[in-house]
Homo-oligomer: A and B are copies of this chain.
Amino acid sequence: MTLQQTITEMAARTKAASATLSILSTEKKNAVLKTVADLLIREKEYIQQQNAKDLSNGKEKGLSEAMLDRLALTDAVIDSMVQGLGELIALPDPVGTIEDFTTRPNGLQVGRMRVPLGVIAMIYESRPNVTIDGAALCLKAGNGIILRGGSEAIHSNLALGAVLKKALEEHGISPDAVQVVPVADREAVSYLLELEDTIDLVIPRGGEGLIRLVVSKSKIPVLKHYKGVCHVYVDKDADLTKAVPILINAKTHRPGVCNAMEGILIHRDVSDRFIPEVVSAMQELGVEFRGCPKSVAIDGRIKVADESDWGTEFLDLRVCIKVVSGFEEAAEYIRKYGSQHTESIVTENYTTARRFIAQTDASAVMVNASTRFNDGGQLGLGAEIGISTTKLHAYGPMGLTELTTRKFVVYGEGQTRK
């Protein structure tokens, strides 16, 4: 069998199994997730043995310490997967809910029922715990799942995949519902992305290069974000006692993630008194400023920004700062350099707040809050599978509901169309 045939057949088996998953009761799905958690603990030794192979191969290949660190399935990482499963079990199941139920003039009753998407392929190069976290979310929403992790984590991912399959089997469900692509070939991804009749959604997670590759090759819909270049605009009517903590939190709480702030825009009416205050507060925490000439003139601790700094996703303690003449210039800057991820304004002005909310195009638009809140857990969705900056289907964090779709259900008593 060629690799293409293997991949095609694997996906077909997942699709066949997904029909069963789609009608499982919530109770049953939660029981499967509980078994996954139990097995992670019971099989820990085996999982860590397999993980050790990846770690030793990684060392040989010269992976960086940071990469080896992300690859390691330590006791703490396994505990966090177990805890995540517990939280997922507690979340309400969207499947089967009927929304927007109405009665038409001819007596037809029409509603929209939440149903699983079908089969989801995850293509990722991040930590192997995505194998459990991602698959568990897809399963709870009733979907079959095909997992394709990084080649450096193949033994770990196969071990975790075996745990998922075993849990399904223990509950009498076909283990085909979850598949881990067992080969490291890059070709495997290309073959997967052709299968538009079998796979309903592709979710890539990783660097911009991986995501662009998936988008350009895929015939299947893709939910993704390329990067997070988030800004906070400090308006002339800002309460500065709110602005400083928001800026500090947005930049320094976890600088390496997509909802961290990469740029500060400051209204010129408050720049003189505000910039020195914010630079002092943030420099103490290790933040390094790159600014426009006006900001540099106000505070010499700011370095002059290169053109390439604007709109850069630093993912570290660097931040851009720019003085703007008002709302319009801030909006224009965000349109030009933002990534439709998260944008926040600090203001006490009712009309300015409303304008910012209405006119800013981003998956999350905030008033007087840290950009770090653009996260499924923080916004009330529970666990998330990622954040979408594509507007189709989901814009922003994607939780269980975003892993489902809605079909029309129509209850009649013999109606025919006039």
Contacts and interface: CB of A to CB of B under 8 A. Distances in A.
A200 B416 contact: no
Interface bin, chain A: 35 or more
A396 B115 CA distance: 13
B395 A407 contact: yes
A407 B393 CA distance: 11
Contact of A364 (B361, B390, B395, B410): B410
A28 interface: no
A249 B417 contact: yes
Interface string A375-418: 00011100000000011110111000000011111111111110
A340 B118 CA distance: 12
A357 interface: yes
A365 B23 CA distance: 15
A24 to B, nearest CB: 11
Contacts of A31: none
A366 B410 contact: yes
A242 B379 contact: no
Interface centre among A361, A369, A409 (most CB of B within 10 A): A369
Given A96-B358, A215-B219, A368-B412, A380 B417 contact: no
A276 interface: no
Given A96-B358, A372-B417, A391-B200, A410 B379 contact: yes
Interface string A200-224: 1100000000000001100101010
Interface string A227-256: 000000000000101100110110001000
B412 A364 contact: no
A11 interface: no
Given A19-B335, A365-B410, A407-B362, A416 B246 contact: yes
A113 interface: yes
Interface stretch (A60-68, A102-110, A148-156): A102-110
A379 B408 contact: yes
B380 A102 contact: yes
User: Which applies to chain A's interface (DSSP): helix, strand, loop or mixed?
Assistant: mixed
Interface in A113-149: 113, 115, 117-118
Contact of A108 (B369, B390, B409): B369
Interface in A129-186: none
A393 B393 contact: yes
A87 interface: no
A367 interface: yes
A254 to B, nearest CB: 8
Contacts of A51: none
Contacts of A362: 407
A359 B361 CA distance: 38
Contacts of A359: 19, 22-23
Nearest to A194: B216
Contacts of A191: none
A392 B215 contact: no
Contact of A416 (B253, B364, B412, B414): B253
A363 to B, nearest CB: 6
Interface in A5-48: 19, 22-23
Given A416-B372, A417-B253, A390 B221 contact: yes
A417 B200 contact: no
A368 B410 CA distance: 9
Given A110-B380, A369-B108, A416-B370, A409 B357 contact: yes
A374 interface: yes
A412 to B, nearest CB: 3
Contact of A413 (B23, B242, B357, B373): B242
21 contacts: A22-B359, A108-B373, A115-B361, A117-B391, A216-B219, A221-B393, A242-B414, A246-B416, A249-B416, A253-B416, A253-B417, A364-B407, A364-B409, A365-B409, A365-B410, A372-B416, A373-B417, A392-B393, A392-B405, A395-B407, A397-B408
